[in-house]
Amino acid sequence: FWVRLRAFCYARAGELDAFDLTMNLLRERGALSSTDEALFFAAAAGKPPKDAPPIETALQYAALKVSGLEMSLNDLAGAQGGVIAAVARDGDASNALRLDATMRAVSMGVLEPARLESLINGFRFEVADLGGALDIAAARPDDPVVDALLYQSVAAMTAPEFIRDKAQRISIALARADSFHRAYALAHLYADEIAALEGVIVSPQEASSFALAAMATGDSVGA
């Protein structure tokens, strides 16, 4: 790690002879991945790589940041927990990337679920979008930002007469999860809302999704 860090610092400082020497040393030791090489050489050249390789380590994340390339959701697939937590806190990252990273971090146990709720509550949506949240959700099933939109729309349904519609909307929000980290994070996000539905008559499908979410959060009685 320290030798790779030295190579990265030499690249950033423009000390190219020392950079080349250190990179050769890493190659001889078999300690230089293709991602390291692509990102470190891009940092030394002062121009971004042609394609952003998936990152794993903190140094690769730092190198990608200075390269000027924008990260995508796929770049986080193999990233270490600390890197994912750093992306979740990165104010320069897109809302979609931060939200996906926060969900991943919550599922890995490196961030508290409360941070996910705090991030979502900080998003700003148009009133018309909140009103049309179900239609937007149907059109954009893979967009994590729509998860935030749905959550805010659920939170806005405070009147008792909305309780059945609220239960249906929570079930729809939970059903959007297409991965473990997304399902686990959404279960924690809606835990209080689901607990508040005790005694409300819901459909078998809704009851099933609520029970699974309760089990994910350790609420066996609620499940």
Q: What's this model's pTM, rounded to 2 decimal places?
A: 0.87
**What average pLDDT does this structure show over 21-45?**
92
The predicted-structure confidence for 145-174, as pLDDT tens digits, reads as follows 999 999 999 999 999 999 999 999 999 999
Cβ contact 7:19 at 8 Å: yes
Q: What is the pLDDT of residue 83?
A: 93
For residues 209 and 187, what is the distance between their CA atoms, to the nearest angstrom? Answer: 9
pLDDT band at 46 (very low <50, low <70, confident <90, very high): confident
pLDDT above 90 (res 54): no
Mean of the per-residue pLDDT values for the chain?
92
Instruction: Write out the chain in H/E/C secondary structure.
Output: CHHHHHHHHHHHHCCHHHHHHHHHHHHHCCCCCHHHHHHHHHHHHCCCCCCCCCCCCHHHHHHHHHHCCCCCHHHHCCCCHHHHHHHHCCCCCCHHHHHHHHHHHHHHCCCCHHHHHHHHHCCCCCHHHHHCHHHHHHHCCCCHHHHHHHHHHHHCCCCHHHHHHHHHHHHHHHHCCCCHHHHHHHHHHCHHHHHCCCCCCCCHHHHHHHHHHHHHCCCCCCC
C-alpha distances out from residue 109 to 106, 161, 167, 179, Å: 5, 37, 27, 16
CA distance 173 to 138: 10
What is the band of 40 on the pLDDT scale with cuts at 50, 70, 90?
Answer: very high
Percent of the chain with pLDDT over 70: 100
Average pLDDT of span 103-123: 95
Residue-level pLDDT at 96: 93
86-99, pLDDT tens digit by residue?
999 998 889 999 99
Tell whether the model's pLDDT for residue 51 goes beyond 80. no
Q: What is the pLDDT of residues 180-193, one digit of tens each?
A: 999 999 999 999 99
The answer to whether residue 127 scores a pLDDT higher than 80 is: yes
Please report, rounded to a whole number, the percentage of residues in the chain having pLDDT higher than 90: 79
Looking at residue 50, its pLDDT comes to 78
**Distances from the Cα of 179 to the Cαs of 35, 99, 107, in angstroms?**
25, 14, 11
At 28, is the pLDDT very low, low, confident or very high (cuts 50, 70, 90)?
Answer: very high
Q: Quickly count: other Cβ atoms within 10 Å of residue 92's Cβ.
A: 10
Chain centroid offset of residue 193 CA: 22
Lookup result for tokens 């835990």: 191
